[in-house]
A and B are shown apart, each in its own frame.
Chain A
Amino acid sequence: MSTPPARRGRRSRVALRGRPALRRLPALLWLLPAAIAYATFVLYPLTQTVRYSLYDWNGIGQAVWVGAANYVTVVTDPTLYESLVHTIVLIVFFSFVPITAGLVAATFIRDARSVRAAGAARTILFLPQIVPLAAAAIAWTWLYADDGLINGVLRAVGAGGLARPWLADFDTALPAVGLVGSWAMVGFCTVLFLAGIGRIDASLYEAARLDGASGVQEFFAVTLPGLRHEILVCATVTLIGAIASFDLVYMMTGGGPGFSTMVPGVQIVRLAFTEGRVGLASALAVVLLVIVLLVVLPLQRLGRER
């Protein structure tokens, strides 16, 4: 090839861009399988959720148009709107706690990153992301049991008065489930933050130290801004985890005691498939979807800025 590489590169890019749109049209065929699968099994069912939500239907008989009545029920029936409130509580445990704890942990661990044990620890911290949450739920159910490990430790240290069946107690069941979410997410966030800290320019830390910044000042001036992107990623992943907390709640409490841990996912399945209130279940699903989009999409935009 006699053409100098630089010029050849430029010419071919021009050639590619310049290829008329019409000639690129057949390539839409490549996209077809993915588009069909996505449209048939994601987009179309979503439109059906919206359609069902406007009817009173038991899943078998005749559906009766009821307009917005199901939505009115969602916002007025405490067992339904409280499930949405529970989601907010779970967001604190699934997102806020792991991100905060992960930031603190990563700041400390930063100085020990080079140690060989750090690699093994990274593997361990990832475990909750790998195993089925349903299996982890069984372990935690047992930890929380009346005669489980947590109460055993409390009694052993003379704090037996605090012991209780954590998942059967109206006041503690929801935080107890939430804590499992924190447990599942904190390792992921920490590992992500550690990778992010590794990409922060080391000279920034040096500069901060030369300026006599304390550890806390350094954290707020260098680490936190440097991890902006990673924090947004963690927030997105953990928020989706909190909103889709079906596995944990279904396995650990089924929404009980009473409705104290009921979340929209479990409620949707219960309403539609046990109670035969398909329209109401769908209305709750639509509200859940809107909440997801309202919470997560702004985060995504934030992540793309700059």
Chain B
Amino acid sequence: MHNRLRETVGLLVLVLMSLATLIPFVVMFVTALHPAGSSPAGFAWPDEPHWENFGRAFVDSDFVVLAGSSATIVLGVVPAALLFATLGGFALGHVRVPGSTPIFLVFLLGLTIPFEAAIVPLYYQAQDLGTLNTPWAVILPLIGWLMPFGIFWMRGQFAAIPAELAEAAHLDGASSVQVLRYVHLPLLTPALVTLGLLQFLTAWNNFLLSIVLIDDPSRRTMAGALAAFQGEHSVDVPLMCAAAVLLMAPTLLVFLLLQRHFVKAVLAGAVKG
């Protein structure tokens, strides 16, 4: 009986927290269905849901172009960042190159550094490289900023694989590339998926780099474009909300499809940190 009570209280807390988390999303969605240009009060479901707001937001925000821009940035960042982190993790976690501890510590330092600390020089660097206002202005720095966690994560993964496995392959005459390709990679697939998801989120949701380094909103990440959209349409609350829902949809979709993996990823990443 006592246990049942505790279980009920626990469930109640859980439900309340979930509701508190969801309210802003629900309000945003309901608001998006109100007549354009109105300021609907709170939760009220509109007399007639204006689904066409999503259509207008889709057109006004240039959604197709934006999706392309975001995808370009993600595709420029994630494969390279995954590859670099894997190779670096191999060197530090498996081969243990001379000086791996100090090198690792320098990478670790980067885990805590916010973009704000370097955004000003990054702007002038992009100007010098001629990448300002192109996707590269965001892609190149993002790869660099993803290295600390990438190296940290992959080094741990490589170190956790028993050295005997690779040593056996080495004795059979396999080269380092072959060991990495045929011994380690098959074992590391889940870890790579996890890292890839986290890198996707970082790239797709990036805001600061996107709005400072790319002037044209249609070439930014979706999050960055939202800032410009807000500037233009701040009086039309339903349209704003519709656009925000639309721009959130891709991440939400990916999350819901892979959610078990995501939660595990974020938790694993955090706990090992």
Q: Do A and B come from one complex?
A: yes
Q: A31-B97, A135-B247 are in contact. Are A127 and B21 (CB under 8 A)?
A: yes
For the complex with contacts A44-B125, A109-B13, A278-B120, 8 further pairs of A-B residues with Cβ separation under 8 Å are A12-B168, A28-B97, A31-B97, A111-B10, A121-B17, A130-B252, A134-B226, A246-B207
Whether A217 is near chain B, meaning CB under 8 Å from some CB there, is no
Contact partner of A24 among B9, B43, B97, B122, CB < 8 A?
Answer: B97
Report whether A40 and B144 are in contact in the complex, using a CB–CB cutoff of 8 Å: yes
Contact partner of B116 among A196, A244, A251, A273, CB < 8 A?
Answer: A244
Number of A residues whose C-beta is below 8 Å from B? 108
- Which one of A67-75, A89-97, A144-152, A166-174 is at the interface? A144-152
Name the interface residues of A143-193: CB closer than 8 Å to any CB of B: 143, 145, 147-149, 152-153, 183, 186-188, 190-192
Q: A13-B164, A112-B11 are in contact. Are A251 and B227 (CB under 8 A)?
A: yes
**Residue in chain B with minimal CB distance to A189:** B270
Contact partner of A25 among B97, B145, B223, CB < 8 A?
Answer: B97
Whether A78 is near chain B, meaning CB under 8 Å from some CB there, is no
A sample of 10 cross-chain residue pairs with beta-carbon separation below 8 angstroms, ordered by A number, consists of A33-B80, A38-B107, A105-B17, A108-B10, A121-B15, A125-B18, A136-B24, A139-B244, A264-B116, A282-B120
Name the interface residues of A250-290: CB closer than 8 Å to any CB of B: 250-251, 264-265, 268-269, 272-273, 278, 281-282, 285-286, 288-289
CB-CB < 8 A to B123: which residues of A? 272-273
Binary per-residue interface labels of chain B (229-262) against chain A in the complex, 1 for a CB within 8 Å, 0 otherwise: 0100000010011001101100110011001001
CB-CB < 8 A to B247: which residues of A? 132, 135
Whether B160 is near chain A, meaning CB under 8 Å from some CB there, is no
Whether B48 is near chain A, meaning CB under 8 Å from some CB there, is no
Q: Which 8 A-B pairs have CB atoms at the shortest separation, nearest pair first?
A: A41-B144, A112-B10, A34-B88, A48-B121, A132-B223, A30-B91, A244-B114, A45-B118
Binding site for B on A (CB under 8 A): 8-9, 12-13, 15-16, 21, 24-25, 27-28, 30-31, 33-35, 37-46, 48-49, 52, 59, 105, 108-113, 115, 117-118, 120-136, 138-140, 142-143, 145, 147-149, 152-153, 183, 186-188, 190-192, 195-196, 229-230, 233-234, 236-237, 240, 243-244, 246-247, 250-251, 264-265, 268-269, 272-273, 278, 281-282, 285-286, 288-289, 292-293, 296-297, 300
